[in-house]
Amino acid sequence: MNIFIQQLVNGLAWGGIYALISIGYTMVYGVMQLINFAHGDVFMAGAFAGLVVANLLPNKTSFPSVVLVFLSAMLFSTFLGILIERFGYRSLWRKKAPRLSLLIVAVSISLLLENGGLFIFGAAPRSFPQIIPLKNYSVGGILFTNLQLLIILTSLFLMGILHIIVMRTKMGRAMRAVAEDSEMSALLGIPRERILSFTFALGSSLAGIAGVMVALYTPQINPLMGLLPGLKAFVAAVLGGIGSIPGAMLGGFVLGEAETLVSAYLSSSYRDLFAFLVLILILLFRPQGLLGKGVVEKI
Amino acid sequence: MSKRALIIFLLSIPFLFILNYFLSNPSLFSPYALQIIVLMGINAILAISWDLIAGVTGQFSIGHAGFMAIGAYSSAFLTLNYHIPLIFAILFSAFLSLLAGFLVGIPSLRLRGDYLAIATLGFGEIVRVAILNMNSLGGARGMKGIPILSSFFSVYFLLAISLWLCLSLLKSQQGRILLSIRENEVASQMMGVDIVRYKVLAFAFSACLAGIAGALYAHWTSFIHPDSFTFMKSIEIILMGVIGGMGTIYGAAIGGAIVTLLPEGLRLLLEQNPLLYQNKEFIRMLFFASLLMIFIILRPQGIFGKKE
């Protein structure tokens, strides 16, 4: 029983990371019905921004420098997210291009970021400096590290802030209005394109923080690191119900737990297979996800 | 099936035979050039198969490398272990990928647009990871020493057959139905079209062609590896279809040929600069990705437009 609880605790950390990334997917999907494939690579870019800043700092383990690493990753990925929206999607979105075209552009932006990263940083994995020294704790026989604790608490904290932004602020209300009916909200005078930029910025900043946390947790990063977590975060978003923020959180945690259990009790090589199997099963039997609402086809 | 297409097809056979004789003779023709020409043909078949799903039926697939992998591995397994002739290996792999196509097509019962695309992505990854975990297929080591059975003739003969089949399909009633599904699924359903049946059939047929291309590929390069069939390969296939113009069969075939040639041209350019040459793979993908983006934003109809 102890082993089982131990695995659950291990799964929580990955769950929090998946949840943070999948919120970005779900928000963008909510407002513009686009699967932003480049989102996983924004997460990678955040990790690399953190690496560059961490290598520049003299006293890496001090509290201000840790904050600085997180902030710079967040700022850089936010900037990148806005850039992607502005130069990749906006012109197509304005033209009301088919969703297929948007999807192809998303895939090509993702390739640009990955291969650009490979060109700049090389394919060999980089080790991330240990800006937070590892400590082990044990409560009632269950082991956990301060990093796991940090990841879980930070992700819960950020999700709380996000909830307040989306539910309580004017910007959040405008976002929900655009997600509900984009045309109608434009008629009512909501600046749709600004809302879009804001959505990308918000989602990307969360992905950037997730990037640094993964970099600290694994502690090696490479330019292709965004590919698989990105796809899995998407699976998490679909699992929870794409377009729903609480769904993305739930999906992230469920997927993280399920993956950890699969690699603990079956084999770690089936971990990725399992994630995609979950995706296809969910798509087949409950396409609206765990918390999503069914959509009626409009003619 | 149109009579003119049939005549052209029949005439092409002796022509291919003669060409095959000249091209396969290393003293007359450089093996490097032959290599590229054969790969152009294989990629043209792949591009046609993708175009049939995405361009003609409007069902986006981003897992086509999965079908190709199934074709490549199944026929390589047969010829390597049971030494059967290429034609039976190809038939078997075509059948197997046809089944896979059915399997992937069935979710289209419930899924539309982006969701179906994601399901195909998931399928492609599942195929790759499954092969990676199968020891009888070489696992992560890949499969070596596959007998080289494909030739210029077999590749271009099958390309001619696929072109003929696809072009006559487009002219037929079934082809028109596929086009109507692309234009508006709901409307064609209202007209009484059994859209699920047609979507599944289109998927199966497309997968079958991709599987054949995979089999030809395995028997030409004699080495296959799970990494040859990643998400990137699927993107390459999409690029071929998009460059040629989605919805045109000839366009897709030519797109396949162009995308095979481009890296060779790029290689010649990069060879002059050692720093760039070291990173040629990344530059190739950067180039492909930018091309894909430019095409979708500035010329979504592809090089050849919508004329056919």
Cβ separation of B289 and A277 shorter than 8 Å?
no
Q: Pick the residue of B114, B275, B277 with the most A CBs within 10 A to test the interface with A by mutation.
A: B114
Kindly state the helix (H) or strand (E) to which residue A136 belongs, with its residue range: strand A136-139
- Identity of the residue in B107, B282, B293 whose CB atom sits nearest the CB atom of A105: B293
Residue A238: its chain B contacts at CB < 8 A?
Answer: 115, 118
Phi, psi of B247 (to 5 degrees): 95, -5
Question: Nearest CA of chain B to the CA of A252: how many Å?
Answer: 17
How far is it, in rounded angstroms, from Cα B295 to Cα A105?
Answer: 9
Cα angle A76, A34, B249; round to 5: 120
Q: What share of chain A in percent tops pLDDT 70?
A: 97
On whether any CB of chain B is under 8 Å from the CB of A297, the answer is yes
DSSP state of A145: E
On whether any CB of chain B is under 8 Å from the CB of A88, the answer is yes
- Identity of the residue in B62, B111, B235 whose CB atom sits nearest the CB atom of A287: B111
pLDDT top residue among B75 and B186: B75
Q: What is the pLDDT of residues B2-39, one digit of tens each?
A: 677 677 777 878 888 888 887 777 777 788 888 899 99
Cβ separation of A277 and B296 shorter than 8 Å?
no
Whether residue B202 contacts residue B67, with contact meaning beta carbons closer than 8 Å, is answered with no
Whether residue A217 contacts residue A147, with contact meaning beta carbons closer than 8 Å, is answered with yes
Contacts of A104 (CB under 8 A, 6+ apart): B238, B242, B292, B296
Question: Nearest CA of chain A to the CA of B276: how many Å?
Answer: 9
Pairs of residues, one from chain A and one from chain B, whose beta carbons lie less than 8 Å apart: 117
In B82-219, DSSP assigns E strands to none
User: Which pair of structure tokens corresponds to residue A165?
Assistant: 């932004």
Q: What is the pLDDT of residues B241-276, one digit of tens each?
A: 888 888 888 888 999 998 898 888 887 777 777 777
Specify the 3-state DSSP secondary structure of A212: helix
- Identity of the residue in A92, A116, A277 whose CB atom sits nearest the CB atom of B126: A277
How far is it, in rounded angstroms, from Cα B102 to Cα B81?
Answer: 27
- Identity of the residue in A33, A101, A115 whose CB atom sits nearest the CB atom of B300: A101
Residue B60 is predicted with a pLDDT of: 83
How far is it, in rounded angstroms, from Cα B175 to Cα B297?
Answer: 28
The residues pairing with A145 across neighbouring beta strands, listed in sequence order, are A136
Q: What is the pLDDT of residues A111-159, one digit of tens each?
A: 899 999 998 898 889 988 888 888 888 888 888 888 999 999 999 999 9
Residue B306 is predicted with a pLDDT of: 62
Query: What single letter denotes the amino acid at residue A46?
Result: G
Q: Pick the residue of B57, B106, B110, B125 with the most A CBs within 10 A to test the interface with A by mutation.
A: B125
The whole-number average pLDDT for the span A28-52 is 90
The whole-number average pLDDT for the span B63-75 is 94
Q: Pick the residue of B112, B277, B293 with the most A CBs within 10 A to test the interface with A by mutation.
A: B293
Cβ separation of B292 and A114 shorter than 8 Å?
no
How far is it, in rounded angstroms, from Cα A23 to Cα A201?
Answer: 12
How far is it, in rounded angstroms, from Cα A211 to Cα A229?
Answer: 10
Specify the 3-state DSSP secondary structure of B23: helix
Q: What is the pLDDT of residues A256-273, one digit of tens each?
A: 998 888 888 887 777 778
Query: What single letter denotes the amino acid at residue A140?
Result: G
How far is it, in rounded angstroms, from Cα B105 to Cα B52?
Answer: 13
Question: Nearest CA of chain A to the CA of B69: how many Å?
Answer: 16
The whole-number average pLDDT for the span A43-54 is 94
Contacts of B214 (CB under 8 A, 6+ apart): B67, B68, B69, B70, B71, B72, B73, B75, B93, B97, B229
> B288, exposed or middle or buried, with CB in 10 Å at 0-12, 13-18, 19+?
buried
Question: Nearest CA of chain B to the CA of A157: how many Å?
Answer: 31
Question: Nearest CA of chain A to the CA of B113: how many Å?
Answer: 8
- Identity of the residue in A111, A280, A287 whose CB atom sits nearest the CB atom of B235: A111
The whole-number average pLDDT for the span B171-178 is 89
pLDDT top residue among A242 and B128: B128
Residue A294 is predicted with a pLDDT of: 57
User: Which pair of structure tokens corresponds to residue A18?
Assistant: 């998946």
pLDDT top residue among B45 and B141: B45
- Identity of the residue in B117, B231, B286 whose CB atom sits nearest the CB atom of A119: B286
Q: How confident is the model at residue A298 (pLDDT cuts 50, 70, 90)?
A: very low
For chain B, the residues whose C-beta falls within 8 A of a C-beta of chain A are 54, 58, 60, 62, 107, 110-111, 113-115, 117-119, 121-123, 125-126, 129-130, 132-133, 186-187, 231-232, 235, 238, 242, 279, 282-283, 285-286, 288-290, 292-293, 296-297, 300
Cβ separation of A108 and B290 shorter than 8 Å?
yes
Cβ separation of A107 and B235 shorter than 8 Å?
yes
On whether any CB of chain B is under 8 Å from the CB of A119, the answer is yes
The whole-number average pLDDT for the span A37-61 is 90
Whether residue B293 contacts residue B236, with contact meaning beta carbons closer than 8 Å, is answered with no
Specify the 3-state DSSP secondary structure of B113: helix
Question: Nearest CA of chain A to the CA of B37: how many Å?
Answer: 27
Query: What single letter denotes the amino acid at residue A242?
Result: I
How far is it, in rounded angstroms, from Cα A115 to Cα A113?
Answer: 6
Q: How confident is the model at residue B307 (pLDDT cuts 50, 70, 90)?
A: low
Cβ separation of B293 and A115 shorter than 8 Å?
no
Residue B204 is predicted with a pLDDT of: 93
Question: Nearest CA of chain A to the CA of B299: how many Å?
Answer: 11
Q: Average pLDDT of chain A?
A: 87
CA–CA distance from B155 to each of A91, A131, B69, B152, B247 (Å)? 41, 57, 17, 5, 23
The whole-number average pLDDT for the span B184-194 is 86
Answer yes or no: is pLDDT of B1 > 60.
no
Question: Nearest CA of chain B to the CA of A174: how many Å?
Answer: 25
pLDDT top residue among A46 and B291: A46
Which residue in the block uniquely carries the two structure tokens 């993107």? Answer: B235
User: Which pair of structure tokens corresponds to residue B148?
Assistant: 């080289």
Of A5-14, A186-195, B106-115, B287-296, least confident by mean pLDDT is B106-115
Answer yes or no: is pLDDT of A299 > 50.
no
Q: What is the pLDDT of residues B48-61, one digit of tens each?
A: 999 999 888 888 88
Cβ separation of B296 and A105 shorter than 8 Å?
yes
- The secondary structure of A91-131 as a DSSP string is HHHHTT--HHHHHHHHHHHHHHHHHHHHHHH-SSPEEPP-S
Q: What is the pLDDT of residues B130-165, one digit of tens each?
A: 898 888 888 888 888 888 888 888 999 999 889 888
